[in-house]
Structure 1
Amino acid sequence: MTEAIDHTDLTPLRLFDTTPGNFSLVLGDHHFAEAADLFEAVGQEVSGYSWDAVAHTAVRIHAPELADRIGGFDPEAGMMCVYGKDEAALRELGLILSSAFHDRAKLAALIEATDPGDWD
């Protein structure tokens, strides 16, 4: 059974306990339009894949120590998903992404810092 963990400070991302000891951090496409113009400004279409690229950039720039603690990334067109067994690591990444989501300058900086090879 998948259960959302109450972390309102991660909004609009959601953290789920998918199975005992496994967690997923998710951003759904119903929030994509709010930042579409920032992605389009660098020639990217907003999608789960583009948010995935930004999540990789956030780890690289703001929390490289999380790289070994995150299980993996599994985006789809309509959602960004990061998963793993370390709830604290996913929560920390969620806080970084949530902060950027709510601060257009921070999000624009992450988007601009994304390596061209990370865009899918």
Structure 2
Amino acid sequence: MEKNLLEQLTLWHDNDEFEKIVGKIAEIPEQERDYDVVSHLARALNNLDRYEEALQQLWTIKTEGEHDPLWHFRVGYAYYSLSQYEDAVNAFEMANKLDPEDEDAEMLLKWSRHEIDIITNPQENSMAVQPNAIASVKNDTLANELNNFKERIKPFQFIEHDSGNVSMILNVGVYKDEVFQTRADEGFEGNGYDWESLAVVFLVEKMPHLEDSVHFDPEADMFCAYSDHREALQKFAIGFKDACEDDAVIRDLFSRAELD
């Protein structure tokens, strides 16, 4: 791949301009596309929720991708998104084997196994105490994973409700307050409604595929996002927290927030 093309594809990816990636690569004859080009194409298709097309592209470079953990991760991500969890487990297991430090691959591997467990053993996944020792170990593993997730998104809190819905909340006024102060002259105070305005920009620009699943219900002193899709809110929570921790990214997103 030409260096300039690689840099352009990477820039488009960083800016979530996935359609541009697909369009540019479509201009390149298939016989002239190397491993890196097809990898970029498959990643962009995954980000556009075109998972079957992503898999088709990934299979064309299967031999070259055999020892690439990112190839296996992208295959697993496509299968997971298509709810083909057994295939996802196989792919994430290989990605994890090739790169044990990849936390995302490890997390999605656990989520895939959990989905299989729910499908095959629905009664074992109830909140009741189970006498089976193996089932208890499974529950402990899932509990540890949830705890790790909750630690990762602090100071946001992840709340599970009896109804099955989940919420992500933040008591506002301290965390990232300096970001909101940059537009105090426009009326921004850093309250829950201002956080919603910021979160909406993030959701629309960075995770548009979750717009129908993640909703907001702020109050003056609290930001709240909620969903009846646990996985969707977890993905949003991780992405939004990571964005908040990148000062340049969060200030750029906030520059387009609209005062409620």
- TM-score interval, normalised by the smaller of the two chains: 0.7 to 0.9
Paired residue total: 110
AA aligned opposite 1:56: V
Q: Which residue of 2 aligns with 1:9?
A: 152
- Alpha carbon RMSD of aligned pairs, Å? 1.5
Distance 1:82 1:35 in 2: 17
Over residues 71-115 of structure 1, what are the superposed CA-to-partner deviations in whole Å (9 max), with x where a residue is unaligned?
Answer: x2110011110111111111111112211222221211111122x
Q: Which residue of 2 aligns with 1:68?
A: 212
SS state at 2:174 partner: helix
AA aligned opposite 2:174: A
AA aligned opposite 1:107: I
Structure with more strand by fraction: 1
SS state at 2:223 partner: strand
On the 8 A contact 2:155/2:175 being kept in 1, the answer is no
Q: Please say which structure displays the higher CA radius of gyration.
A: 2
AA aligned opposite 2:234: R
**Structure 1 residue runs without a partner (length 5+):** none
Distance 2:168 2:197 in 1: 14
AA aligned opposite 1:40: Q
How much does 1:20 deviate? Answer: 3.9
**Which residue of 10, 13, 38 maps to 2:179?**
38
How much does 1:14 deviate? Answer: 1.4
CA distance 1:38–1:89, shift in 2 (3 Å): same
* Larger RCO, structure (CA 8 Å, separation 6 or more): 1
How much does 1:41 deviate? Answer: 1.0
**Which residue of 42, 52, 69 maps to 2:196?**
52
Q: Give matches, 1:87-106, under 5 Å.
A: 87-106=230-249
SS state at 1:19 partner: coil
On the 8 A contact 1:10/1:91 being kept in 2, the answer is no
**Structure 2 residue runs without a partner (length 5+):** 1-145
Q: TM-score, normalised by structure 1?
A: 0.82
On the 8 A contact 1:16/1:23 being kept in 2, the answer is yes
AA aligned opposite 1:13: F
Distance 2:178 2:209 in 1: 30
Structure 1 residue runs of 4 or more that deviate by more than 2 Å after TM superposition? none
How much does 1:65 deviate? Answer: 0.5
Structure with more helix by fraction: 2
